[in-house]
Amino acid sequence: MRADSGARLEKTAVNYRPARKERRCGTCVAFRPEAIACEIVAGEIHPAMVCDRWVPLKRSHPGRA
């Protein structure tokens, strides 16, 4: 899920912004709540935000919705 170079992308490069409805960092496969981080985007990531790289969690992750 990381950028090709292995480096995380800047928030401005992925249009990091306040989320609407269920499409948010907290419901993305790349979000790491224990680290308040993302596998793709650099910096502290808030679960109520979203970016253009959002990919939904599968329903098999009951504790992360």
Each domain of the chain, given as residue ranges in start order, spans 1-55
| 56: its two tokens | 């939904």
Q: Which neighbouring-strand residues pair with 56?
A: 28
Residues in the chain: 65
Sole residue written with tokens 């993305």: 28
pLDDT digits (tens, 9 = 90+) for 11-61: 999 999 999 988 999 999 999 999 999 999 999 999 999 999 999 998 655
Distance CA 16, CA 58 (A): 22
Please enumerate in sequence order all residues whose Cβ is within 8 A of that of 65, keeping only pairs 6 or more positions apart, or say none.
22, 26, 27, 57
Q: What are phi and psi of 50, to 5 degrees?
A: -155, 160
How confident is residue 5, by pLDDT bands cut at 50, 70 and 90? low
Check: pTM over 0.85? Answer yes or no: no
